[in-house]
Amino acid sequence: MLVDNIPPQLSTFSRVPTSTALTPGSGSAYHRQTTWSCLERTPGTSFRVNPPGAKAPPPRWAATAPQAVPVATRAASPVRPSVPEASPQKAPAPVTIHRPSRNDDEPGRHVAGRDASVRPTATEAMPTDWKFGELELTDPVRTAVWLAGYREPTPIQVKCVPILLAGNDVVGQAQTGTGKTAAFGLPIIERIDPSLRSVQALILVPTRELCRQVTGELTRLGRERNIEVLAVYGGEGMDRQLKGLAGGAQVVVGTPGRVQDHLWRNTLVLTDLRVAVLDEADEMLDIGFAEAIEQIIKWMPRERQTCLFSATVPPFVARLVKRYLRDPEWVSTLETTGNMRSVPSQIRQNFVNVAERDKLDALDKLVKEESDYDRVLVFRRMKITSDRLAQSMQRRGYIAKALHGDLPQGERNRVLDDFRSGRIRFLIATNVAARGLDIDGVSHVLNYDLPDTPDEYVHRIGRTGRAGRAGTAISFVSEWDYEVFGAIKERAGDGLVERDLGLYGAPAEPTPAANA
């Protein structure tokens, strides 16, 4: 288009203001309100803004008169009894309904009934002359032990509690599921001063799930003395933890990373610390928390009592004991018969030779052949394979969920609570669930993927057969597992028995692993 053909009124130097328009025919301009009436410019001058001179018109709905809303009435029932007018009924008193919220748990307290990690308490009355074995406990702690459901102390509790009450350092080595938490929890509750609103005990644990479990256990044991127990772990916001620390939590249970974070923020002060506990110390050091643990110990006062509990004590844990514990007493309740050291005798151990591609069919055959697969913990090596196995099992009709570190903390808590309550039958987990978790009623542990070390195998199968109850551990051995399986078989000895499911022919009689 040529410049000469542009009408004069659209030219840059003779532009008509936006608030004017041309009359038809005459070419004269008349004023017309438009959307851009507030922006006007005379040719050759800069823009200026003219605000509207009058109020905005009222909205259209304001011109409509409001209509009365009809009130629905209920027709009287023909069989409704009539109430005499002379005896009016008294209005009922208002009922206040308490709705639980996040603030009910402040500061960081686990409440029974809403947290699956807190077990229901006993309802029967405690006899006046009842004692928890030969342990010297005060009346409030003895009452809490009774309400927690304990009746007789376990061997690790019998040996450790008197030593810890005397103020000595302890290295405790016991099988999983033997009551290690109460072994150090009871002395801690006895030594805490309820009137001192500061951190007096710190328990370090490797995983978030174990942190919640230990917190719930100590909450039950300390409720009669009004001891505040706070769980401190990553994967959730800081608000609850900051409120709990500022509100006077006396026992802190946490993972090393988040505890170190609070120490750097100066929100966790350890000047009044009396007891420090390293629970599952070998696992914490094995997964890379060695440097964090040493940094945390440097924040602690020198005059303290230090306890270390673990199922195994490898050399690097022994070096930690030598460096930070003062003349500790070593306590061990492990079995030492033959090669069965550290392996609970009440657990029936089987292994199945199966190709990698046939593992799901082998699992399906196991469950269909036996009816006692009530609550099964299935271990996989990687997170993505855990998710894939859970999806494959769901397609076959099983109630299965995956548990691993990539899940949000809220989802991890829900999955674990559903497994505890029985809403989930199969829990497919990585090693995040292999340490320290006390899940009642696990009937079977299935090593879908073999662990990398014999110690890891011991910790996995320890999720079943808790508190002396019988359990079953089954391991799948594929074509890639024979090297690591040799070390596991050497540790387990004759207790590990082969089982043939008949996937590749007629089933054979079970034979000892040593002869396989």
- Confidence grade of residue 109 (pLDDT, cut at 50, 70, 90): very low
CA angle 505, 457, 354 (to 5 degrees): 15
How far is residue 187's CA from residue 386's CA, in Å, rounded to a whole number? 39
For 347-515, the fitting CATH number among 3.40.50.300, 3.40.50.261, 3.40.710.10, 3.50.50.60 is: 3.40.50.300
Look up tokens 């949000």; give the residue: 408
pLDDT at 26: 47
Average pLDDT, the chain: 78
Residue type at 90 in one-letter notation:
K
pLDDT at 14: 44
Helix (H) or strand (E) holding 8: none
For the four alpha carbons of 38, 43, 48 and 53, in that order, the dihedral sign comes to negative
How far is residue 32's CA from residue 327's CA, in Å, rounded to a whole number? 97
Crossing angle between the packed helical segments 155-165 and 180-191, to the nearest 10 degrees: 20
Dump pLDDT digits (tens) for 275-301.
Answer: 999 998 888 887 788 889 999 999 999
How far is residue 501's CA from residue 434's CA, in Å, rounded to a whole number? 26
Between residues 269 and 420, the one the model is more confident about: 269
For the four alpha carbons of 324, 328, 332 and 338, in that order, the dihedral sign comes to positive
Name residues whose C-beta falls within 8 Å of residue 437's C-beta, 6 or more positions apart in sequence.
207, 209, 210, 213, 416, 463
DSSP 117: T
Tokens found for residue 242: 């900051």
For the four alpha carbons of 320, 323, 324 and 326, in that order, the dihedral sign comes to positive
Average pLDDT over residues 52-71: 60
Q: Which CATH superfamily is domain 124-332 in?
A: P-loop containing nucleotide triphosphate hydrolases (3.40.50.300)
- Confidence grade of residue 86 (pLDDT, cut at 50, 70, 90): very low
Same-fold call for 124-332 versus 347-515: yes
How far is residue 114's CA from residue 80's CA, in Å, rounded to a whole number? 42
Dump pLDDT digits (tens) for 388-436.
Answer: 999 999 999 999 999 887 888 788 889 988 998 889 999 999 876 556 5
pLDDT at 145: 92
Helix (H, G, I), strand (E, B) or coil at 264: helix
Helix (H) or strand (E) holding 401: strand 400-403
Instruction: Return the minimum-mean-pLDDT range out of 80-89, 241-250, 309-318, 380-389.
Output: 80-89
For the four alpha carbons of 262, 276, 417 and 207, in that order, the dihedral sign comes to positive
Strands 251-254 and 201-204: parallel
Instruction: Return the minimum-mean-pLDDT range out of 284-288, 378-382, 392-396, 476-480.
Output: 284-288
Between residues 344 and 256, the one the model is more confident about: 256
How far is residue 326's CA from residue 415's CA, in Å, rounded to a whole number? 41
pLDDT at 476: 94
CA-based nearest residue to 459, from 320, 334, 342, 323:
342
How far is residue 483's CA from residue 502's CA, in Å, rounded to a whole number? 24
Look up tokens 């930070």; give the residue: 324
Dump pLDDT digits (tens) for 134-152.
Answer: 898 999 999 999 998 888 9
CA distances from 405 to 156, 290, 384, 400, 431 (A): 31, 20, 11, 17, 9
Helix (H, G, I), strand (E, B) or coil at 427: strand
Tokens found for residue 166: 């005397």
- Phi (first) and psi of residue 188, to 5 degrees: -65, -45
Helix (H) or strand (E) holding 382: none
Strands 20-22 and 29-31: antiparallel
What pairs with residue 475 in β-bridges?
351, 447
CA dihedral 122, 109, 406, 210 (to 10 degrees): -50
pLDDT at 257: 92
Structural domain spans, the chain: 124-332, 347-515
For the four alpha carbons of 481, 482, 484 and 488, in that order, the dihedral sign comes to positive
CA distances from 164 to 154, 443, 490 (A): 15, 34, 36
Name residues whose C-beta falls within 8 Å of residue 421's C-beta, 6 or more positions apart in sequence.
116
How far is residue 177's CA from residue 174's CA, in Å, rounded to a whole number? 9
Check residue 201 and give left, alpha or beta (phi > 0: left; psi -120 to 50: alpha).
Answer: beta
- Confidence grade of residue 68 (pLDDT, cut at 50, 70, 90): low
How far is residue 434's CA from residue 437's CA, in Å, rounded to a whole number? 7
Between residues 400 and 461, the one the model is more confident about: 400
Check: CB of residue 188 under 8 Å from CB of residue 277: yes
- Confidence grade of residue 106 (pLDDT, cut at 50, 70, 90): very low
pLDDT at 359: 94
Helix (H, G, I), strand (E, B) or coil at 325: coil
Residue type at 70 in one-letter notation:
P
